[in-house]
Structure 1
């Protein structure tokens, strides 16, 4: 696939997501997919990935990693892989390339399970925001989505879920460990302090 071919694909995916995603997806929306694509390319550069074929497959994986949300919430990664295979049934990409892309998509499933550097890069890109300054508003968007879909029932459930997730999560690439881990630890401490304060207030201390 040429660079112009990728650009055409990117525009096609953007249009499909714009038109087809449920408006209740306040986190898993078009902006998230664009962000993951941007961060994946950045992290790949920092990790020394300069092979054009690898970069192309990574960018395609980033575009497709959440496209399954067009059809389903739970199990969206598998659906993303199915849509990928349908879209490339014309033979534009070989079997090995498609398997590589599917591996990257499935690696983002929580708990993340990357098996190689490209999979590590997309996993870190997918959760890049955990260590960024814009974590608070993005976190609120995810909480709103979880409330809309009944994954949590009340806002009070959210911070304990976030704390547990933070404590299990790890960044895989050296660049994300350097650039995002410190910010993530700061956000975790803020969440813990907030929880402790809320607990003290409930106990009347």
Structure 2
């Protein structure tokens, strides 16, 4: 882990901007940076070491990179890309295995198996417990609609309600700081769809 993260970020930004479709307005480099920032924030509250934080930040950056290849099941492709490119940034095979575990933990339904995986899973959906949840949901809806033009707003609202009712945060930080806002957003969605 010797090469500065800025070089890896620059490499990934270039890869995504050249290969991601323009209509990916949710799964893009900005989302990767957001998740990376939130993952570090959660990791610090969960008392992770600096080495763990480096791995968590790296997993956050790469977790949706596979969208350049495939949309559904992109987590597997994200791992493949991480295995392909991370050695050039001085990550060991063991580091990459840990990173891939975190990436796979973001796959819905989420099923993290350790603390680092819980942190990245929560960081990926942290926005559900923020005041910008509705705004980000609009971007995700537009992105999904570009892939499935028949998707209606009513169907999307139903999907969101079902998803939120079944979603759970794993880290104590998100349970304490994000769950109440997520529940408020869910109430708004239910009220709007009645």
Does the pair score TM above 0.5? yes
- 1:86-134 superposed Cα distances (whole Å, 9 cap, x missing partner): 1134582222211100100001000001111110110110001101011
1:80-91, aligned counterparts within 5 Å?
80-89=78-87
2:180 aligned to which of 142, 160, 182: 182
TM-score, normalised relative to structure 1: 0.90
2:5 aligned partner: 6
2:157 aligned to which of 159, 162, 166: 159
Aligned partners of 2:55 and 2:95 also within 8 Å:
yes
Supply the distance in 1 between the matched residues of 2:89 and 2:182 (Cα, whole angstroms).
41
Question: Which of 1 and 2 has greater Rg?
Answer: 1
Which SS does the other structure have where 2:128 is aligned? helix
Aligned partners of 1:152 and 1:158 also within 8 Å:
no
Supply the distance in 2 between the matched residues of 1:91 and 1:142 (Cα, whole angstroms).
31
Question: Following TM superposition, where does structure 1 have runs of at least 4 consecutive aligned residues deviating by more than 4 angstroms?
Answer: none
Supply the distance in 2 between the matched residues of 1:91 and 1:29 (Cα, whole angstroms).
21
5+ unaligned residues in a row in structure 1: which ranges?
A: 197-205
Supply the distance in 2 between the matched residues of 1:181 and 1:91 (Cα, whole angstroms).
36
1:71 aligned partner: 69
Q: 1:155 to 1:55 in 2, by over 3 A?
A: same
1:116 aligned partner: 114
Supply the distance in 2 between the matched residues of 1:79 and 1:18 (Cα, whole angstroms).
17
Q: 1:164 to 1:112 in 2, by over 3 A?
A: same
Aligned partners of 2:154 and 2:193 also within 8 Å:
no
Establish whether residue 170 from structure 1 lines up as the match of residue 168 from structure 2. yes
1:191 aligned to which of 168, 173, 189: 189
2:105 aligned partner: 107
Report the CA distance between 1:54 and its aligned residue. 0.9
1:59 aligned partner: 57
Which SS does the other structure have where 1:112 is aligned? coil
2:123 aligned partner: 125
Report the CA distance between 1:15 and its aligned residue. 2.0
- 1:133-156 superposed Cα distances (whole Å, 9 cap, x missing partner): 111110101111111111862122
5+ unaligned residues in a row in structure 2: which ranges?
A: none
TM-score, normalised relative to structure 2: 0.95
Aligned partners of 1:146 and 1:152 also within 8 Å:
no
Supply the distance in 2 between the matched residues of 1:54 and 1:170 (Cα, whole angstroms).
23
Which SS does the other structure have where 2:32 is aligned? helix
Supply the distance in 1 between the matched residues of 2:69 and 2:183 (Cα, whole angstroms).
35
